Each structure stands twice: as structure tokens, then as C-alpha cells.
Structure 1
Amino acid sequence: MSADCETWVALSALQHLLYCERQAALIHVERQWREDVNTASGRLLHERVDLPGHDARVGRRVERAVLLGSQRLRVSGRADMVEYQRDAKGAGWRPYPVEVKRGRRKAGEADRVQLCAQALCLEEMHGVDVPEGALFYGVEHKRAAVRFDAELRQRTEDAIARMHEVLRRQEVPVVVRAPRCDGCSLEPLCLPGVTAGQRSAQDFLTRWMDEAG
């Protein structure tokens, strides 16, 4: 993929992009953010998990709050946890990324894409294959294993390329009202109910004042 050499995509931006491209642009282009109960509880959960450190057990080493990056894809961020497991031959350590989520398992692919992006970073950083990782859902208190097959890897690279394009354009997409808007923490800033078809609330106010005048 090609990308502006000065622009890097945050791993967290992929989650926002796959939820809503407008949300991703509001956060990562316009730098808007609003915390609600869900984002606050998620932040507190990550703060507990993301304390830098490590644990060591026989055949396994666990690192928390691991900084990641891929020069090839121009993507960077932090993994909640990376387990380094002895490979079958015992000759080295194989990374196994674990991403912590506050809620329940979701039907969409955003969580899996974000985790796969972490794996792509780890592969480049360590020069080893990372075939699998896991998502841990706080409400369910269980892990869901994720295989990084060719299809998921391609969707992940496509999402990274899309996010690079969002950052390159430096534009917020027009509002398209959808059921997901009701669960978005940025709904009071986006105002999808009154600004549908506009790029921003300011566009709506400008048009309204022009029509009123």
C-alpha cells in the first residue's frame, strides 16, 4: 500500500473507522472526543490492564502496554497485552497479541481487524509469523481466539489504507443517519438527527442562517 511518509495511522483508529468513517474523521481529523458511560468504563478497564510490566512463567512471558509499529503500513499504537510463547521447537518466542474489550463479542469485524493489525506490527518487529491472537471480553470473562488468515489480513490492510485516505483528505464525511448513531458517544457532537447530508454542525448552521436570511 502507499501512504504519505509523514502520516501514521493509530491502531485505535481502525476500530473507529469500521464503526463509522465519519466518527473516525471527527476523532482523528478534527480531534473531537466526548466520553460517555461506555467509553469511560472501557478506559478504566484499559488503565487497569495497560500498566507497563511483564510476567514470566514456564514457557510463557507476558508483556503489557506494548508499543507497536509497522514501517511498511505506517500504523502504530499499543497492544493491551502480548504473550510470548515458546515455539514448538523451544528455540524462540512467538508473540500472541491479546486485546481487551469492555463489552460482549460483536458481530462486526472491527475488533478482529484491530487485533490483526497488532499482529502485522509484531510480525514486522520480530521477523516471525503471528498466526493467532485473542480478544478478551470483560462482560463474558472469556477469550475468543482469532486466526489471522489471508482474508482477514487483506481486510486489515484495506482498512489501514482507507484510514490513510481519511487523514490525507482531511475532510469529515457527510452525515448518514444509521441505527448505530444512537450508541455513538459522539452523537451530541455529530448531531445526525439535524445535520443529515451536511459535513458538520457548522455547515448546517451556515445553511440554516442563509435560508433564514
Structure 2
Amino acid sequence: MSAALPSADARDGDPIPLSALQHAVYCLRQAALIHLERMWEENRFTAEGQVLHGVADKPGSRHARGVRRETSLRLGSRRLGIAGIADLVEFHKSGEGETPYPVEFKRGKAKLHRADEVQLCAQALCLEEMTGRAVPEGALYYAQTKRRLVVPFDTGLRELTEATIAGLREVFASLRTPAAVYRADRCRACSLLDLCRPKSSAKPARRWRDNTLENLLAADVVDP
């Protein structure tokens, strides 16, 4: 059943939602459909994610063994124009102060693409700007494996994150949704599959390509 997206979009100069970065890495068209066209469709995977975040997204603060834990913490970066809410940020105390350590909760298990890592790295970039402290790493907690996956925020991931933000900003500024590109490994699990219809969208382009090639070949045959 279709439902309106609960979070803010990135039109009219609003900050880009941190969650949109995950969508953009997975599929730029998906990000535009959700955050520009306001389309959303629940499936089993999104429902499980909602349940998981329903538990995590409760603001609170706890202290234990030199670590301060803040849940549902609001983050933002003026430099990058992004904002959102972190599931959990741990502040590890040392002689020099507190080092932020973002932890994002995800359903399932670690994925082959880097969408989750980019979203987490964006949180780290926000925390660095907000606290003035370096954030060298964070973690992704996957419900299926019940384990944390440590994510170092190295140069490559930081560059990918900032490139994703820039690319998404261009899409939002143009107010144009990218054309569909069917990828079986991602489209089959996408909650927007029936709304996006990537196979149907790709057929006219293929027909145009095939007709153009046929016309060119025919012209080569009849030319003296």
C-alpha cells in the first residue's frame, strides 16, 4: 500500500536528508522517486527496517564505562547541506575529550554495495563539523547477524560520500528524475519496483536504438 514519505525532502533549499544518500548509492532514480516525487511503497524489507528503527529511534542518553551513548541524535552539516538523525552516537572519553563514534542499525546483513557505509560516513562528516573532533570510524549493526561491522572512514569512502551528495544535489536542483536502468540484483528487492517499472521504461529506449540501427544499416545497403 502506498504511503507518504514521513521525512522531509530536499527541495526549496532544504538540507539533503541523510537517508537519501543511502537511496542514491543504491539507485539514483529511487532517491529521486522518494524525495522528489514523494513516492513510497512498503514491502517486507522496508517494514522490517521500520520495526528495527522504531526501537532505536527513541531519544535518550546513557553513560557506562567511559562511554556516553546518545540515541536518535540530530545531525547536520552546513558545508555539505545535509541533515538527519543518527540511530546511535557513542562518545568515547579519553584524556583529550570525547571522540564521536556513530552506529547505524540495519536489517539483514552486510551488502555488496556501499550504500550503508556512505550514509554512516555522512553522519561522521556531520559530527566532525559539529564537534570539531576527528571521527576515524563507526559501525553498522545488522539485525540478521547481530554483529557490528566496523567501518573506517578512509579517504576513498569520504570522497564517495561527498560525490554522492554532489550528485544528488544536482538531481534535486534540476527537479528531474533520472531514467530507469533495470538491474535485476537491485530492482527485485526494491519497494518501488511496481511504481518505477524499470523494464517498461527501458523498452522505448531499446526500441529507438534498434530502429535507429536498422535505419542506418538499411541506408548503408542502398547507398551506391
Establish whether TM, by shorter chain, passes 0.5: yes
Return structure 1 stretches of 4+ with deviation > 3 angstroms: none
Residue 164 of structure 2 aligns to a residue whose secondary structure is helix
Q: Quick one: distance in 2 between partners of 1:197 and 1:168?
A: 28
Question: 1:44 is matched with which residue: 24, 47, 51?
Answer: 51
Aligned to 2:76: 69
Question: 1:196 is matched with which residue: 180, 196, 202?
Answer: 202
Aligned to 2:211: none
Letter in 2 for 1:110: A
| Larger CA Rg, structure 1 vs 2 | 2
Q: Quick one: distance in 2 between partners of 1:176 and 1:148?
A: 30
Letter in 2 for 1:6: G
Cα displacement string for residues 125-170 of structure 1 (whole angstroms, at most 9, x for unaligned residues): 0011000100000000000101111111111111111111110111
Asked if the contact 1:103–1:140 (Cα under 8 Å) also holds between the matched residues in 2, the reply is yes
Asked if the contact 1:174–1:198 (Cα under 8 Å) also holds between the matched residues in 2, the reply is no
Change (3 A) 1:176 1:84: same
Change (3 A) 1:61 1:187: same
Q: CA deviation at 1:100?
A: 0.5
Aligned to 1:181: 187
Letter in 1 for 2:111: K
Change (3 A) 1:102 1:86: same
Q: Quick one: distance in 1 between partners of 2:52 and 2:31?
A: 22
Letter in 2 for 1:193: K
Residue 140 of structure 1 aligns to a residue whose secondary structure is coil
Residue 133 of structure 2 aligns to a residue whose secondary structure is coil
Written as runs of structure 1 = structure 2, the 5 A alignment for 1:52-131 is 52-87=59-94, 89=95, 91-131=96-136
Residue 183 of structure 1 aligns to a residue whose secondary structure is coil
The percent identity for this pair of structures is 49
Q: Quick one: distance in 2 between partners of 1:186 and 1:122?
A: 32
Cα displacement string for residues 101-124 of structure 1 (whole angstroms, at most 9, x for unaligned residues): 001111111111110000000000
Letter in 2 for 1:184: C
Letter in 2 for 1:189: L
Question: 1:28 is matched with which residue: 26, 35, 43?
Answer: 35
Question: 1:166 is matched with which residue: 155, 168, 171?
Answer: 171
Change (3 A) 1:197 1:28: farther
Asked if the contact 1:176–1:197 (Cα under 8 Å) also holds between the matched residues in 2, the reply is no
Q: CA deviation at 1:177?
A: 1.4
Letter in 1 for 2:192: L
Letter in 2 for 1:15: Q
Q: Quick one: distance in 1 between partners of 2:198 and 2:156?
A: 33
1:12 aligns with 2:13: no
Q: CA deviation at 1:86?
A: 0.6
Change (3 A) 1:198 1:34: farther
Query: Structure 2, unaligned stretches of length 5 or more?
Result: 1-10, 206-224
Query: Structure 1, unaligned stretches of length 5 or more?
Result: 200-213
Q: CA deviation at 1:8?
A: 1.6
Change (3 A) 1:187 1:130: same
